[in-house]
Homo-oligomer: A and B are copies of this chain.
Amino acid sequence: MKYSIGLDYGTNSVRCLIVDVETGQELATSVFEFETGQAGIVLDPADHNLARQHPADYLKGLEVTVKAVVNQAQNNSPNFSPDDIIGIGVDATGSTPIPVDKTGTPLALLDEFKDNPNAMAWLWKDHTSFAEADEITQLAAREHPEYLAKCGGTYSSEWLFSKILHCLRVDPKVFDAAFTWVEHCDWMTAVLTGTDQPHQIKRCRCAAGHKAMFNSNWGGNPARDFLTKLDPKLEPFYKTLSRDTFPIDTKAGELTQTWSDKLGLPAGIPVAMSAFDAHLGAVGSGIAPGKMVQIIGTSSCHMVVFPNDTDLPDILGICGIVDGSILPGHFGIESGQSATGDIFNWFVNYIQPGGPQAGTHESLTEKAAQLKPGQSGLLGLDWNNGNRSILADQRLTGLLIGQTLHTRPEEIYRALIEATVFGTLTIIKRLEEYGISVHEIINCGGITEKNALLMQIYADVTGREMKISRSSQTCALGGAIAGAVVASKNAGGYDTVNNAQQAMCAVRDISYQPIAENHKIYQQLYGLYKQLHDSFGLADHQSSLGNVMKQLLDIKAAV
């Protein structure tokens, strides 16, 4: 029996699996909740755009979870030996860049900077850099529209260059101390395989392509001029940007003796190039041309692939189209929603309708399930955390319309669910407009297993069957698949990602079929959603409402 390890660094915790490479079944699993800040996130009460993580949590989580799964596997299966581990794969959230010094050490691990949020990892959902994102978008629109075309028309405040530029502006001390900035996922493979030469840290195709304007169309990285026009001080950083990037079937290196000792694994195990969590989640869900994978959590990602032997046009408002970012040999197309579960969590945790005991997800879902589509008269926009696709605008906010004096919490809860699903449908429609068909939808993420109402609404709104990935840990499973591929077929792994997926991925028996009469009502409601979406989301819309949300944010900022 051969096994692979998958490590999945999420927003609040890291999860580790040992997976049977023949069947994809989990032998052992362990979770480590990040310890710094609130649920692992360093926040700033004065600036709700700020979200950071401490790299020390990443290292502790690595050690704790790998040791735990090895121990667990030995207990569960007397025949298991750490020598049976043939590969390791890692994913992480992103863009979550970390400033590191000349030794590849994150600045936050140095005494001088240990409590400075700017020296920590800038978590994907950190939006402090919205002004810089706008600056980058404007410069690209003027000088390199092709850069924008591959990332949905707007460079996001969540992404690498925005964050580095913001750091340069607000904390030059941290900026100057940084030899370079490394994506969290790349830093993890570097740690496992040796970090002492930070300019040799391998960059994964996924992060580079989706968040750092890397594309073979223009020879890889964006032009040096482009970054130095943003600020000449970006020059040294530019020099450290590697020109090579790699998909997940490439070996990043081998497990070092240091980490072999720490983790109780043999040194030399091949470690696969990493990718973002959603991308490896798509792999672990069995993504293939025509099969969309939806990863639904606090936010959502919608992943599709398209063979790279066909021309693919740029897709307006879709975050990224990157050759090899998901599957080697395919364009990886990522779109997403900045908040899904986070909107429901907001309603339950901040509004607490009926009180913390009464207004739980479970009770609200139960009551909301009694309602018919359209029955509440409510309609919402799912922008409480901005809009990633297809508007690519973080400075949009939520909207709810249709309240009467009789509107009840479960009606609002259902409207919030529906709003997020209408957001998904908007993405699917945009993909289809560009010829990317979606024959099959596979869902993963805890909420897809737990909330049947949510899945039924997805089916009813989209008019499509909703399948659920067999594994509850598709991201980590995707890591394990990558590990099994870089291990090679000779060592008991696979020669291609596709072959590994065939063996290791599956969907569950349960799936959700659209109910025709519900779909009909949702088609009407979607028409109204789209009207609100365009009116409030497009700055130049005839409604003249396209700037209302931003003007409210401007007034708020001025107060």
| Chain A interface residues (CB < 8 Å from chain B) | 48, 339, 342-343, 345-346, 350-359, 372-379, 384-385, 397-409, 412, 521, 524-525, 528, 531-532, 535-536, 542-545, 548-549, 551-553, 555-556, 558-559
Contacts and interface: CB of A to CB of B under 8 A. Distances in A.
Nearest to A527: B551
Contacts of A549: 401-402
Contacts of A558: 374
Given A543-B542, A552-B377, A397 B403 contact: yes
B545 A544 contact: no
A549 to B, nearest CB: 6
12 contacts: A352-B353, A353-B353, A355-B357, A374-B556, A376-B556, A377-B553, A399-B402, A400-B403, A525-B552, A542-B543, A542-B544, A543-B544
A396 to B, nearest CB: 10
State the 4 A-B residue pairs at the shortest beta-carbon distance, nearest first: A355-B355, A398-B403, A543-B543, A377-B556
A434 B498 CA distance: 74
B406 A398 contact: no
A524 B346 contact: no
A42 to B, nearest CB: 15
A536 B543 CA distance: 10
Given A353-B351, A399-B401, A543 B535 contact: yes
Nearest to A349: B405
Nearest to A412: B351
Contacts of A339: 405
Nearest to A517: B559
A408 B48 CA distance: 13
B559 A373 contact: yes
Nearest to A43: B406
Contact of A559 (B408, B521, B532): B521
Given A397-B404, A398-B402, A400-B403, A351 B351 contact: yes
A543 B544 CA distance: 7
A76 to B, nearest CB: 39
Contacts of A342: 405
Contacts of A531: 544-545, 548
Given A535-B543, A556-B376, A559-B521, A401 B355 contact: no
Contact of A552 (B355, B379, B535, B551): B379
A555 B521 contact: yes
Contact of A404 (B48, B353, B379, B401): B48
A373 B555 CA distance: 9
Contact of A407 (B350, B357, B404): B350
A245 to B, nearest CB: 32
Contacts of A358: 352, 355
A374 B379 CA distance: 24
A385 B402 contact: no
Contacts of A398: 400-404, 407
Contact of A397 (B375, B377, B412): B377
Given A353-B352, A372-B559, A535-B545, A48 B406 contact: yes
A532 B550 CA distance: 14
A348 to B, nearest CB: 11
Contacts of A552: 374, 377-379, 401-402, 525, 528
Contacts of A352: 353-355, 358-359, 409
A403 B379 contact: no
